Amino acid sequence: MVAMFDQMNAQLDRLKASRGSVTGGDSGAGEHKLFQFYNRIMTEATNSERCSIFIHDPKRDSVWLKAGTGMVERDIEVPVQDSVAGEAILTGKTIVVAHMDDHKSAHKTVQEATGFITRNLLCVPIKSPILGQITGVFQILNKNDNGEFTGQDIALAEEIAEHLQIEADRIFVDQEAFDLIERISSAPGKVATFVLASVVLMFLMSIVVLAGTGIMALLLG
């Protein structure tokens, strides 16, 4: 029990430090609007059909949809090991697939589930210098007029991915905290109560910090 407590406490301390580093991001409805704004301007800027933002879930070894053109959050979840998004996460490199028909991956399953046919794809990893890992990916689908993604498209998508980093970091850290809460719920009584209370306190403090930041912005703006 002591070893388990020490392990959970160490993970809690790490999450607190990570959460404190990424509280500058937006949240809730504002975050969703920001993501959809980037999706909208990038479909226009690259003359493409759709854009989407996925978050990496290391526990499930998958990536899930946070925001996408005409899509609802978590409508799509694909494994890291069998997807273009996963390839971008594992390699840390921008991936361009000119012909998805020739690409054996989980996208065929997604195509069957959604009815949307992906012809070509540009996928950029969202890299976190704060957390030291890749927290998600930004994807652009189907260049119009049977075109191919250009160097300019790639450069622009990589720039947008940098702007998405803070928000993606916060979602990634919160996701890990919720996973920890699930583990705590199955732990022995006193250990679970203590650590769970600490996690809840961490999030309450984060909310206060975010609210305070917003109030100061209003006062100074």
The percent of residues in the chain predicted with pLDDT above 70, rounded, is: 65
More confident residue, 130 or 220: 130
Handedness of CA 25, 92, 75, 11 (dihedral sign): negative
CATH (one of 3.30.110.70, 3.40.390.10, 3.40.50.12780, 3.30.450.40) for 28-165: 3.30.450.40
Closest C-alpha to 65, from 44, 51, 49: 51
Q: What is the DSSP string of 2-24?
A: HHHHHHHHHHHHHHHHHHHHSTT
Token pair belonging to 53: 């933002």
- CA of 177: how far to CAs of 12, 17, 138, 174, in Å? 8, 12, 23, 5
The number of residues making up the chain comes to: 221
Q: Using one digit for the tens of pLDDT, what is the confidence trace for 160-190?
A: 999 898 889 888 888 877 666 666 666 666 5
The whole-number pLDDT of residue 184 equals: 65
Domain extent listing, the chain: 2-23+173-220, 28-165
More confident residue, 144 or 112: 144
Closest C-alpha to 81, from 105, 112, 108, 55: 105
pTM: 0.71
Q: Could you tell me if 51 and 140 are in contact, meaning their C-beta atoms sit under 8 angstroms apart?
A: yes
Amino acid sitting at position 34: L
Local structure of 67: helix, strand or coil: strand
Q: Using one digit for the tens of pLDDT, what is the confidence trace for 44-75?
A: 999 999 999 999 999 899 999 999 888 888 88
Q: 107 falls in which pLDDT band (50, 70, 90)?
A: confident
